[in-house]
Amino acid sequence: MTGREKILYFIYFHRTGLTVLLLSLLLGLFPLLQDNPYILGLSNLVAIYTIVVLGLNLFIGYAGQISLGNAAFFGLGAYGSAILTTDYGFWPWPTMALVAAGVALVALVVGLPALRLSGHYLVMATLGFNIVVYTVFIQWDTLTGGPSGFSGIPYLSVFGWEVDSDIKLHYLVWTFAMICLTLSLNLVRSGVGRGMAAVAGDETAAAALGVNTRVAKVKVFVFSAVLASLAGSLYAHCFSFVNPDTFGIFASVDFVIMVVVGGMGSIWGSLFGATIMTWMPEFIDVFETYKEVIHGLILVVILLFLPQGLVTGLVDAARKRFALSRGRHAAGQ
Amino acid sequence: MLQVSDLKKNFGGLPAVGGVSFEVPAGSVTALIGPNGAGKSTLINCLTGVLPADGGSVRFAGEELVGKPAHAIARCGVARTFQNLRLFPRLSVLENVLCGLTPQAGDSFLGALLRLPRLRNRERRLMLQAMEAIDQFELTAQASFPVSVLPYGDRKRVELARAFVGKPQLVLLDEPVAGLNHAETARIATQVRRLQSQGHTMLLVEHDMDLVMNVADQVVVLDSGRCIARGTPAEIRRNPLVLEAYLGRMSVTA
């Protein structure tokens, strides 16, 4: 093997890790090129949404189920961190973990019965859960501040440094997003991930291969809730203000749209979906005015023509075409 | 190795399998034949836990399988293929075959997230094992293709590779050559004979009599949910009851 081949092999075998590294590097340089606080704030929001969408994408793409309740877990994480750190003086970092553990428990309790259902029933069950949680945020105003929201949430600090500016927040939230991205990539490339993909593909076949389909679905559901909760805690500490409307059912629908735009079962697609759907309204005015209509249209059009989602659908089509052309080539020889 | 005794399955009062008993000795190929609707697929589905059996017992390597869920039966070392292929069309051939190694890949969710070196080494080993199976089933050139682009005959072999990759103790093959043309059937038959010579224990449900008579050590004949005959292929060929079930009473008396 020549030196050049060795390098190419190295790049090929470590393509996932190298892509993550390259992206991290670019993100590290981003604030040097762009210091507009508005843009940075928006980019921070993308990072937080990416974390939620990663979890939801694993659930939709790898368990073959749809949840319209992940904004509730996002909200529980945000309010959990907000209330415990502001009103009760808990340390933010341990609180984040504590709240995530609590949300995992809630997800387990919700998921065990709800995941016996499938298809539309599961969608309804998770939707109902989101409405309940949203109503609690609105009604329990002594604790949550009610419809006007909850403010004065302390910033996080890293080794004594308070993360209070947009640039510092940029590094914090994108570090989290890249860690979650790496963990998700690890997961889907493992035996556990393949078992989950099998469940999404064909439950009977998955069971015949030794996958406990129910346990697999509950595990992914809980994992998606934990990611949403972490993202929620970050959101609260980042913007130091939370409002119930961020966590309503329309937010859940938006997360599903991000998954669909990115492509079901695609980890990179999650990043793409969250980015596109967060930035687009900022650059196209029509988008802002007719947001709901356009979101609905995007969802319908993609599901009609590329049921696997936009990016995944296109990648699948390209892979198919490549395989077919190679197959013909081989047959011709 | 596998002892089925008095296995029963009813569909709304209609007995699809009405008390079937037979045995699959280790290292042998047992063929299960019978006309359409005889209960062959139902029987296979009951053995693998896809359908719950209504009564009877299935002993496999000393363990009772009736009442166990499908995934637990698979983990006892019973693999199967399906009559109508159940592959994962979006995944590549390699990924499909790797799915057959799910129990060997470990169950730790946390371990999978962190991808520790131990797991990475195990993954590498499993990858080699999967590639070996792909090689044996002559799919090497297509290993990276998504299954959805493969012709039907190749897909059948992918399913075989997925069933055999984990070195199961018993494999149930549900009509492995149904819907295949002559050349493809011959290809699968060669594979089945190869597996047989390697000492694999198989239960083969098949309509293709050439294949059955060629590879089976023992043939069990089902008709209307009952076992009507059992014996070597030569005995079955001469059995009047079997001819009757297959060809109808008139043909036998004529």
Each residue's pLDDT tens digit, B117-129: 888 889 999 999 9
B119 and B46 belong to one structural domain = no
Distance from CA of A62 to the nearest CA of B (A): 12
At A168, is the secondary structure helix, strand, or coil? helix
The count of structural domains within chain B is 2
- CA-based nearest residue to A56, from A310, A298, A264, A272: A264
Q: From CA A182, how far away is CA A176, in angstroms rounded?
A: 10
Q: In this predicted structure, what is the pLDDT of residue B254?
A: 37
- Say if residue B180 is in the same domain as residue B59: yes
- Of B162, B165, B166, B167, whose CA–CA distance to B176 is shortest? B162
Residues B1 and B65 in one domain: yes
Q: Is residue B196 part of a domain?
A: yes
pLDDT confidence band for B251 (50 / 70 / 90)? very low
| More confident call, B76 vs A14 | B76
Instruction: Indicate whether B48 and B98 sit together in one domain.
Output: no
Whole-number Å distance between alpha carbons of A332 and A156: 63
Using alpha carbons, select from A221, A217, A229 the residue that is nearest to residue A72: A229
* Three-class SS state of B202: strand
Do residues B64 and B173 share a domain? yes
Are B161 and B175 part of one and the same domain?
no
Inside any domain, residue B84: no
Pick from A246, A71, A242, A86: nearest CA to A150: A242
Is the ipTM higher than 0.90? The answer is no
Cα–Cα dist A246/B145, whole Å: 42
pTM, two decimals, is 0.89
Does residue B64 belong to any structural domain of this protein? yes
| pLDDT at A302 (0 to 100) | 83
B91-102 per-position pLDDT tens digit: 899 999 999 999
- Residues in A touching B79 (Cβ below 8 Å): 208-209
Question: Could you tell me whether strands B218-223 and B29-33 are parallel, antiparallel, or unpaired per DSSP bridges?
Answer: parallel
Domain check: are B121 and B188 in the same one?
no
Alpha carbons A68 and A130: distance in angstroms, whole number: 7
Looking at the complex, report in whole angstroms how far the Cα of residue A327 sits from the nearest Cα belonging to chain B: 8
CB A195 within 8 A of CB A81: no
> pLDDT per residue over A114-160, tens digit each?
888 776 788 888 999 999 999 999 999 888 888 888 888 888 878 87
CA terminus-to-terminus distance, chain B: 41
Candidates A194, A213, A322, partner chain B, best to mutate (most B CBs within 10 A): A194
Q: What does the block give as tokens for A54?
A: 């990663």
Rounded to a whole number of angstroms, the distance from the CA of A152 to the nearest CA of chain B is 34
Check if the beta carbon of residue A45 is closer than 8 Å to that of residue A278: yes
Residue B156 shares a structural domain with residue B174? no
**Which ranges constitute the DSSP H helices of chain A?**
3-13, 15-33, 37-63, 70-86, 92-114, 120-139, 141-144, 166-188, 191-201, 203-208, 213-239, 249-262, 267-283, 285-289, 291-305, 310-332
pLDDT of res. A219? 92
Mean per-residue pLDDT, B190-206: 91
Q: Which of A209, A213, A220, A227 to mutate to test the interface with B (most CBs of B within 10 A)?
A: A209
Among B140, B166, B192, give the residue marking a domain's end: B166
**A180 interaction partners in chain B (CB closer than 8 Å):** none
> What is the predicted pLDDT for the residue at A18?
87
How many Å apart are CA B49 and CA A254, to the nearest integer?
A: 39
Q: Which residue has the tokens 């009103």?
A: A87
In the numeric block, which tokens belong to residue A126?
């998770």
Q: Are A79 and A246 in contact (CB under 8 A)?
A: no
The CATH number linked to B219 is 3.40.50.300
B126 to A208: CB separation less than 8 angstroms, yes or no: no
Residue A11 pLDDT grade (very low, low, confident, very high; cuts 50, 70, 90): confident
Q: What is the chain A residue with the closest CA to B115?
A: A186
Of A192, A198, A326, the CB nearest to B107: A192
Same domain, yes or no: B183 and B59 = yes
In whole angstroms, give the CA distance from residue A316 to residue B91. 10
Q: Which of B98, B149, B150, B159 to mutate to test the interface with A (most CBs of A within 10 A)?
A: B149
pLDDT at A87 over 90: no
Reduced to 3 states, what is the DSSP secondary structure of residue B21?
A: strand
Please indicate, yes or no, whether residues B159 and B174 belong to a single structural domain of this protein.
Answer: no
Amino acid at B197: S
Q: Are residues B175 and B149 in the same domain?
A: no
Residue A159 and residue A157: Cα distance in Å, rounded?
6
Q: Is the pLDDT of residue B243 over 70?
A: yes
Quick one: three-class SS letters along A57-105? HHHHHHHCCCCCCHHHHHHHHHHHHHHHHHCCCCCHHHHHHHHHHHHHH
Q: What length does chain A have?
A: 333
Segment B48-68, tens digit of pLDDT? 999 999 988 999 988 899 989
pLDDT at A328: 66
Q: B13 pLDDT exceeds 90?
A: no
**B228 assigned to some structural domain:** yes
The single-letter code of the amino acid at B147 is V
Final residue in a domain of this structure, among B141, B166, B191: B166
pLDDT higher than 50, residue B253: no
Note whether B171 and B164 are within 8 A (CB): yes
Digit-coded pLDDT (tens) for B69-92: 999 999 999 999 998 889 998 889
Which residues of chain A does B83 touch, with a Cβ-Cβ cutoff of 8 Å? none
H/E run at residue B25: none
Candidate from B69, B142, B146 with C-beta closest to A320: B146
Which of B70, B104, B145 faces A208 most closely, judged by CB atoms? B70
Please report residues of B whose CB lies closer than 8 A to that of A191.
98, 101-102, 104-107, 112, 123, 126
Residue B82, in any domain of the structure: no
Which of B50, B109, B138, B167 is best to mutate for the A interface (most A CBs within 10 A)?
Answer: B109
The closest alpha carbon to A100, from A157, A161, A205, A180, belongs to A180
Taking all residues of chain B, what is their mean pLDDT, rounded to a whole number? 88
Q: What are the CB-based long-range contacts (under 8 Å, 24+) for A210-217?
A: A210/B71, A210/B74, A210/B75, A210/B102, A210/B103, A211/B71, A211/B102, A212/B69, A212/B71, A213/B71, A214/A115, A214/A116, A216/A63, A216/A192, A217/A63, A217/A65, A217/A111, A217/A115
B169–chain A Cβ distance below 8 A for any pair:
no
Contacts of A232 (CB under 8 A, 6+ apart): A73, A74, A75, A76, A77, A78, A79, A80, A81, A99, A247
Distance in angstroms (rounded) separating the CA atoms of residues A272 and A269: 5
Same domain, B173 and B247: yes
How far is Cα A84 from Cα A79, in angstroms, rounded to an integer? 8
What local confidence, expressed as pLDDT, does residue A330 receive? 58
A186 within 8 A of B115, measured Cβ to Cβ: yes
Q: Per the structure block, which two tokens stand in for B55?
A: 């009564």
Distance from CA of A223 to the nearest CA of B (A): 9
**A205 with B148: Cβ contact below 8 A:** no
Interchain proximity A195–B105, CB inside 8 Å: yes
For the CA atoms of chain A, what is the radius of gyration? Answer: 21
Domain boundary among B137, B166, B195: B166
How many A/B residue pairs have CB atoms within 8 Å?
A: 124
Residue-number span of the structural domain to which B135 is assigned: 89-166
Distance from CA of A198 to the nearest CA of B (A): 7
